[in-house]
Chain A
């Protein structure tokens, strides 16, 4: 049975078992995920699964409940409807219920990549082999992942939508005695992922990390590569532009204010280059490209129906599954790249030529490859602590001179991107995959005037 048919069947069951006054929405997702993982230069974990999840939320007599099942036989669907209806009757009232998404056209689905859908364990192993071989004897670790999702939405208000996504991604490190070097890429097509290119880039970084020096903590000018900028984008998405956080005054974001450097334009766009995402959200609201920051000025936050109702506005289609407590989150955030030549592979530790273009302007600072284990210390100003990982180098007079040991930082992300804080935006945005879902981001390298390093990894 197709996802569309399953959704329709559940809606029929709601009408039959819960009565015509019940408001209901159904999301059926079929995910096929395959991931080939390697460490010490061999494949040590190799997994695949296909799961269909049927999610139901219903509202009746002022009360709301949700539920899901991975069982799709008729009895299981009937049980899902019955227990969710029963739960809604016993639940305390829900005065904030925002109603169902009204009928509204959803854009045509983005074409999926048949090569991702058809990818075999041998296809993924071949990319692993290419990565390992490109590491020229350095131990390698990482994964190659192919994922395909099909989703169907229907609600009792007459809204329906169907969409599909594909994503191929590879993430790996080459390991030398002193340092690891990383390379990571994601895209909607299997051909986006070239194990040899990524392996060579990771190895170049690892080899350039030998004999790192210890640097005194302090405030340094930095060039952050796309992997590190991707971490910033994901933090801004979760804690900054989240409509619930804004409603509850837990976010720094203030629409209409010049909160970022004028070189910063942020969009949430599932159709953007390299992005993977559906064109509707968990409530069936169309998810269209949305500019959150234009030339440094905050324009919008993202909403689901509940956060929008609180804010007195309309949902812009960013509802998450189970998002009532998390809020609404951009899932395809992109920092638009600057202008310049298309990037090319370069020797040495820089990820590509667009990074080197930024390095050239730095008199004394640090090149940071990646962030690790970043956590929010102070939510409102979004002060985050974390560490550098997979390579840090000193930049002197526009040249990358020496590797540096990893450092801990404690930094307000919006403050780092504030007016005057961004000294350069690279000409290329690299797409990256979320670790946890079929979400993605696109990040260029950034040159920032200051970054607050608060300790060395060795103490």
Chain B
């Protein structure tokens, strides 16, 4: 298997706080990889470094073999690596349908296509994906009126609409009704298997991440603590200590 994402010795500090120090990880094409760690361990900072929200202090990030640590967020997004947000972000004043339509890929866009409309197939695709996450009936409602859990599902559907090669999900199940989590897990798996989207997932819900991920990285205090398959990470004494505050 070839690596689609390769992070090597990435460090990032904010003033005196070292959020990430020398973190390396690799994600192979088609994999589902988890990132866990206690609050404040640097998971979201790592995501921000990868997708270009802020420059890294040192280290390299390579996506499909090309260095991306100097690119900005929209450029990386157009290469096919998207992230979703921990605090769900959707376009609140627009209808769900419009949220979906504008999430089409923006890789090749001329001045002409900017002023054009959307073809019929794009509408159909948007409706299909809304159906996929169970929001079809609400497609003409303003996205801001949806419940938090529904907004998360919408955000996920928007990400799929963009046809990414890789998705970085920041706590996809946080704030979602436990009965819906299984549905979401199923959809994440289907997106991975059927659409071939590589997933890198930050998650606090251990049951979810142990079921979902093939490999897991555990961060603590900005450092990489452990990595391996779910079983190994779960039984790693250092991970247990980190979570229970044994350090």
Q: Are A and B bound to each other? A: no
Question: CB within 8 Å of B: which residues of A?
Answer: none
Residues of B within 8 A of A (CB): none
